[in-house]
Amino acid sequence: MHNGLAFLDAPSPNFDERALPVTMIVLHYTGMESGEAALARLRDPEAKVSAHYMVEEDGTIHRLVPEDKRAWHAGRSHWRGIKDVNSASVGIEIVNPGHEHGYRPFPAEQMGALIPLVAEIKERYGITRGNVVGHSDVAPARKQDPGELFNWHALARLRLALPRPTRNLMDPGWPDAGFIMALERFGYDVTDETAAVTAFQRRFRPEMIDGEIDMECRCLLLALLLPKPQGDD
C-alpha cells in the first residue's frame, strides 16, 4: 500500500537499470482487446515491453516493475531534450482497447485509481506538471495513446498535468516555422512536423485533430509557454 493505494504484484522480467533520475510520468493505453491480454504481454520475456504499473478499467492497479528500475514502455522517444525517456520516467499503462480495437472513454473507476497513483508518484519525485505526458507526446510520429478521449482535464484540475489554456489567449501571429520552433521549445520532437502538430492537438485540442497549424493552436501554445498557464478550472 502507498498512501492507501492497493497494488496487485504482477512482476515483469522486462526491465534494466536506470541511467537517469526520474523526472517524468508517461501515460499509455494498452491498445489490446483485454486487460488480461495486455498483462500477459507486459510480462512476456519475448515481447520485451513492460511498464511500472497497469491500471484496469475497474481501477485495479498491477505493479509490474519496481520504480527504481527502467521499464520498457516508451520505445524511441524524446521529450524536452531527454532521449532515453525510459530511464527518466515512470510508465503507466491504462487498459483501453485503443484506436485499433474499439477505442472508448476511460471509465470513472479507472480514472479514480489513476489520479491518486499519478499524484503520489509526481509528489515523490517532484515531477513538474509539464512532464506528465502521454506516449503520443514523446513519440508523435509513432503513437496516438492515451489519445483524444483520455481525460487530461481531470488531471489538470488537480495540478497533475498542464491545463488546456482558456484565459488570456492571444495569437502571437507566428508563421508556421515559428510555431514549429515554439513546439520544439515546449518539448516535442518536431522531426515529423505534421506528427508533432497532431500530437499537440490530440493533447490540447482533442475535438479537432487535423495536423494543421491555425490561430487556436498558436494561442494555446503561446499560453502554455508562459510561466503559469491558466485553464481547466
Lowest mean pLDDT among 55-64, 92-101, 130-139, 161-170: 161-170
pLDDT at position 1: 43
In angstroms, rounded to a whole number, what is the distance separating the alpha carbons of residues 201 and 57?
25
User: What integer pLDDT is reported at residue 233 of this predicted model?
Assistant: 53
Instruction: Measure the CA–CA gap between 231 and 223, rounded to whole angstroms.
Output: 10
pTM exceeds 0.75, yes or no:
yes
Q: How far apart (Å, rounded) are the C-alpha atoms in residues 214 and 111?
A: 31
User: Annotated catalytic, 93?
Assistant: yes
* pLDDT digits 0-9 by tens, 45-104: 999 999 999 999 999 999 999 999 999 999 999 999 999 999 999 999 999 999 999 999
Q: Which residue out of 33, 46, 57, 93 is catalytically annotated?
A: 93
* Dihedral angle computed from the Cα positions of residues 139, 26, 149 and 11, in that order, rounded to the nearest 10 degrees: 110
Closest Cα partner for 141 from 191, 204, 71, 205? 191
Location of C-alpha cell 525510459: 86
